[in-house]
Structure 1
Amino acid sequence: MAWRSHGTSNATLIQHLTANALITTPRVASAMSSIDRAHFSPSAPYRDSPQSLGHGATISAPHMHANAAESLLPYLSPGARVLDIGSGSGYLTCVLAALVQPGGSVVGVEHIEALREMGERNAGKGELGSQWVGDGTVRFVRGDGRLGWAEGAPYDAIHVGAAAGGIAGVEGLVGQLKRPGRLFVPVEGDDGMQHIYVIDKDEDGNVTKKKEYGVQYVPLTDAPA
């Protein structure tokens, strides 16, 4: 249904994503409505398709951002701490911040300084994002996303916007989850195909991994030399 969800404004994009059941909860609809995608997408911001950001990075299609937010929603309560790895344009970082207010915080991690700066700059284009960057509710940092961001751990929820090279490669991120907590991450299998994994840690530290639908993301790697 994604191909039928394009909008001519942020409002119509959210309406179409909701009508096509790509957004399924009022909280996610409200959060995505509060963050104008035009501040984060270099072109055609209201098309339900990915857009290049340069530096080998993309801003994912809106339906993917909606699905990630819906999946993580049970762990996005007010006051929650969230890690957004591969924060790119900063769009989903701000949507996640909207979902954990009041009192929550989000750290966006990028491995290229120009992308880190882009996310911070884009967030500052909107009233909410500018406020959150100013008061530390949203932080954009440079680091190796494969290592997470230990400074703010543990996190209620972790989103990864690039494909890990195997399920074993996300164990360090699982270690930065709270009990309970959830990780949403694309993973490339031995066959070269990528799938979304939703990984939960319960109150006792037990971990379950659920393989979901196929995707195509840029790889989660270190910065180019």
Structure 2
Amino acid sequence: MKENKAFFRLQHLCVISLILIRVALTAKITATTPSPLSLSRMEQYWSGSAMNKSKGMVENLQSYGIIKSRKVAEVIENIDRGLFVPNGVQPYIDSPMSIGYNATISAPHMHATCLQLLENYLQPGMHALDVGSGTGYLTACFALMVGPDGRAVGVEHIPELVSFSIKNIEKSAAAPLLKDGALSVHECDGRQGWPEFAPYDAIHVGAAAPEIPQPLIDQLKPGGRMVIPVGNIYQDLKVVDKKSDGSISIRTETSVRYVPLTSKEAQLKGE
């Protein structure tokens, strides 16, 4: 009988110990899991009736702490994302969307993140390059920020997307800048950049490169900044700053998932 009591007491202590271990592990996970506001957790998408216009989209991005400045908020509100997505697509939901040709338009939170990272390098009169410009959305945002005395350049190697993006821009608030030549979109391999208007204060790359292309580093102005996703299966959004002496510093902003930066042929094959 005494042996049975000892056994049950030991069993009871084991159960209590397991409960305490589980509580401790739960507390540790809770303490180390990033906040939902963390950029690394922005795969949690929102949607709903409030997301039917640019203003509602901006308000949600502000509430999540993605948009931090008035300038970025104004630009995203003025360049209507609804003009830059294929027909039948819900443009204001925070999710990447297919635009055909094995390409996508990034989720609004990623566009806002990149605009925030590049804001100081998109001042009036500055030069900006958008590599893999797709539907032209972010190129149009850049143009509005650098203004008529600046230069915003989009490069895209799918000719149909170049034509599509120009038509989109012509319907947007950036149309006058396209007409006056402060904004232009060109068909080329984005990995080679666009030397004609280099050096650039800001360079954005909208597809993931296995490594940072040297021509883009060369075309980045001393004192300028490039934002580029780097990696294959695992990708990080890298912030590349070129110092006044030409030296480069690179830091990781967040983990991301982009389509690959590759050749036109490989992209059309889905490689």
TM-score category (smaller protein): over 0.9
CA drift at 1:102: 4.4
1:97 counterpart = 2:97: no
Stretches (4+) displaced over 4 A: none
Aligned partner of 1:170 among 207, 213, 216: 213
Query: 1:143 — aligned with what?
Result: 188
CA drift at 1:203: 1.1
Query: 2:197 — aligned with what?
Result: 152
Tell me, in whole angstroms, the C-alpha distance in 2 between the residues paired with 1:41 and 1:149: 25
TM-score by length of 2: 0.78
Query: 1:195 — aligned with what?
Result: 236
**Higher helix proportion:** 2
> Size of the alignment, in residue pairs?
220
Tell me, in whole angstroms, the C-alpha distance in 1 between the residues paired with 2:54 and 2:67: 14
Tell me, in whole angstroms, the C-alpha distance in 2 between the residues paired with 1:11 and 1:218: 28
Q: Which has the higher contact order (CA 8 A, sep 6+)?
A: 1
Tell whether the 8 Å contact from 1:163 to 1:218 is kept in structure 2 after alignment.
yes
Query: 1:4 — aligned with what?
Result: 46
Tell me, in whole angstroms, the C-alpha distance in 2 between the residues paired with 1:80 and 1:164: 25
CA drift at 1:5: 6.5
Tell whether the 8 Å contact from 1:188 to 1:195 is kept in structure 2 after alignment.
yes
Of the structure 1 ranges 12-21 and 98-107, higher mean CA displacement relative to structure 2 is found in: 98-107
Gaps of 5+ in 1: none
Q: What's the % identity of the aligned pairs?
A: 43
| CA RMSD of superposed structures (Å) | 1.4
Aligned partner of 1:205 among 246, 249, 271: 246
- SS of aligned partner of 1:52: strand
Query: 2:98 — aligned with what?
Result: 52
- SS of aligned partner of 2:73: helix
- SS of aligned partner of 2:143: helix
Aligned partner of 2:175 among 130, 134, 138: 130
Query: 2:83 — aligned with what?
Result: 39
Q: In structure 2, what residue type is equivalent to 1:200?
A: D
Decide which structure has the larger Cα Rg and report it. 2
- SS of aligned partner of 2:134: coil
Of the structure 1 ranges 69-78 and 97-106, higher mean CA displacement relative to structure 2 is found in: 97-106
User: Aligned ranges for residues 63-74 of structure 1 at < 5 Å?
Assistant: 63-74=109-120
Q: In structure 1, what residue type is equivalent to 2:234?
A: M
CA drift at 1:99: 1.3
CA drift at 1:129: 2.3
Query: 1:107 — aligned with what?
Result: 153
Tell me, in whole angstroms, the C-alpha distance in 2 between the residues paired with 1:89 and 1:146: 18
Q: In structure 1, what residue type is equivalent to 2:176?
A: Q
Query: 2:22 — aligned with what?
Result: none
**Higher strand proportion:** 1
Q: In structure 1, what residue type is equivalent to 2:114?
A: A
TM-score by length of 1: 0.94
CA drift at 1:33: 0.8
